Structure 1
């Protein structure tokens, strides 16, 4: 009997660790809350719904017709407002919160009341959902900043020179390889170096750093979209 209890406990721990690893991979892979909802429903059988801070469904594990059910929306709103997990028979809700604000709720409707292990898994899912939502929000803020500040700096009259923008674009694509950029543009490497020097004068020497390059690539992508 004791061995069976220990084995069951070990199985629960291994299951929790496996789900934790799968959810963590979703974040590292840049997945969204839809994937979090689906993975959670796979780990804890049932229907999973992710609601935002306004109570709007932003992700579902399937059966989207259930997203508007008053019972699910009601327990989601209550958990979001109270900041506490709510368990009511087959239905449960877990607030998605950060240190400063509520971001929404993970609601689960299963075939039976959840176990303690399932509860820990769903709590972990809520934490992962919080990370995904915060990341998405920050990316949106960064994009807005890029649209405003970086595009203004990068795409002013001084830098609307098509050749310079094209050189910058190809340089990013070739990991700043001068010879590779020159071959792609059919230019002499010295010409590419001269253009790179002009870019440095306009954007500052730090444009070559990884975080700045990411912003520049986003800016160039936005520029292409706006001009097509």
Structure 2
């Protein structure tokens, strides 16, 4: 049974979400603020976090950034704000999705299930992008007829994006995940490698595309089968 963390200082929201999520067969862990949520994460094996932005002690953006640096789980930010700068901040801190209050509980469940499907791809050594298969264990990309040879960093960058289709990665995230914390170059190297990947896979745009989100970073979208 998957466990979902609900971090919100509104007791009514906590009660509503616990009811809806439990009915769908998930286990719920609750926290009333960011610090309590941080402690619960240390005590519990959590599979997904739903976080309100406006919380006492530690706000949702700070908690989101902490989770992204320590855990590899999906995150949904829950907020009453619906301004583009607020959403940009959320995505920069590492959220996977963004739901604005007031919301329909069913819509939130759709998003939770979609994120679980997206993250389940990462549990496999082989990632399928329609005709293409990325074999992370053997560092190979194949279309079923021939292998496509990639330099190591291009392969790792493609695999990182493909593990979580639809998830937005900032350039900072990609530098940290692909090049490492001690990388001393600038973020433009990400842009250069993305450009090369797009050139290599121009014949596979029906299978996947790498989209630019201006001012933030990149995400990979899988085409319809």
Q: TM-score, normalised on structure 2?
A: 0.26
Larger Rg: 1
Q: 1 or 2, which has the higher strand percentage?
A: 2
Q: Which has the higher helix share?
A: 1
